Structure formats: structure tokens, C-alpha cells
Chain A
Amino acid sequence: QVQLVQSGAEVKKPGASVKVSCKASGYTFISYGISWVRQAPGQGPEWMGRISPYNDNTNYAQKFQGRVTMIADTSTRTAYMELGSLRSDDTAVYYCTRDHSPDSTSSAFWGQGTLVTVSS
């Protein structure tokens, strides 16, 4: 079965960077895009961007351009999301998600989430 297992919770200071990992199993890794979605406390989900492990094409939300980097390591079937210049309003649960199909970017499978807390 499809599984996405994310790295553990992080506490960071303002201005620092955080790198969250997402290890995939149960499907052909290069065939499906991986998106990253975050959810601040008490808020709705927010889409951050997507990477295609097939060709490393990325598509970032403009809000995060210049601060976010998404990588897919096909040798270890692991996707990474790095967010820099952290601020207190970046405190959120960060999820990796897998596309429903090669033709559909709906988020069919979700990791368990990684809580990132930004605090001085």
C-alpha cells in the first residue's frame, strides 16, 4: 500500500531553515508528483508547491518563491522540502502528498505531517 512517512517535529529560531523529508513506499516513485501542503494552527491547508520526481520539474506557489526548495531523490525514494528565512507565521504542520494519478494533481495520499515550530 502507498505510504508516505515524514521526519519528526522541528523547533527552529526565526531566520533559520528547516528541511522536512518524506519517504515513499508502495508505488513507482517517479510516476507521481509530490506536493507539499502546510496547515497553520486553526487554519485551512495551504499548497506550497509540487515536484515531479520523473524530471525534477518544480512548481512553487509565488508566496514561497525564493524561500522554498523541493527535491526528489529517486535512489532513496525520498522527497525533501526546505524552507528558509523562517518567521513565526511559518509555524505549521507540513504535509507531503502524492498525486492521485499521472494525470491528476489532486492529493490522494498524505504523510502523517511534521510540526515545525518557529520561536525565539
Chain B
Amino acid sequence: DIEMTQSPSSLSASVGDRVTISCRASQSINSYLNWYQQKPGKAPKLLIYAASSLFSGVPSRFSGGGSGTDFTLTISSLQPEDFATYYCQQSYSGPKTFGQGTKLDIK
């Protein structure tokens, strides 16, 4: 199985900050990388698919980059509603594994 490793595991930031979350795959996954946002008690929501494509309705302050094994999710200017847990997921092969998550909270 492809292992997905996110860093950091947790992150404190302020409204207006620019933040970047990293995700590394244990082998090349081309651009088959998705990013999700999850708030407590809710289902995850798709933000980014195919590494850098913004899902419909997602604010443009979210962006994704990378290919192969190294990927990033960037939020250009944090808004209060962005404080949540973020997960990467590979959809390249085998079980579609998720990273362990990055919890973003208010500094």
C-alpha cells in the first residue's frame, strides 16, 4: 500500500496568515492527489483534486501543488472558517490511502 505522510501534524496560525501543509507519498503517484477539509462532527469536504484543481465552490485562497511524491496545500489568507483538519489522499493505485491529518487551529 502507498503510505501518505503529512507535515506538520498540527499548526497554529492567525486570521490572515498564509499557511502551507505538506504531503509526501511513499512512491510516485503522478498527480493523483486530493485534499479534504474536515470540521468536527462533519464529513470531509473535497477541496483540491488532481493535485492542483480546485473543486467547484471552493474559495480561490486554497491552492494545491506538486507531483510525483511531494505535494502542498496552501491557504493564501486564513479565514475564521478555515480552522479545521486537513487530509491528503492518493487515488493512484491500491487502497486509496489518506494521510494522518493536519489540525489547523487558531493561535
Interface residues of A (CB under 8 A from B): 35, 44-47, 50, 61-63, 95, 100, 104-108, 110-113
Contact = CB atoms under 8 A, between A and B. Distances in A.
Nearest to B96: A47
A45 B91 CA distance: 14
Given A47-B95, A62-B95, A107-B89, 14 more contacts: A35-B96, A44-B99, A44-B100, A45-B44, A61-B94, A61-B95, A95-B44, A100-B49, A100-B55, A105-B91, A106-B91, A107-B36, A107-B44, A110-B45
A105 B100 CA distance: 20
Contacts of B67: none
Interface string B79-97: 0000000010101001111
Interface string B23-61: 000000000001010100001111001100001000000
A86 B8 CA distance: 34
A45 B49 contact: no
Interface of B: 1, 34, 36, 38, 43-46, 49-50, 55, 87, 89, 91, 94-101
A63 B55 CA distance: 30
B91 A63 contact: no
A19 to B, nearest CB: 20
Given A105-B96, A107-B34, A108-B55, A45 B46 contact: no
A52 B69 CA distance: 28
Nearest to B92: A105
Contacts of B89: 45, 47, 106-107
A63 B99 contact: no
B44 to A, nearest CB: 6
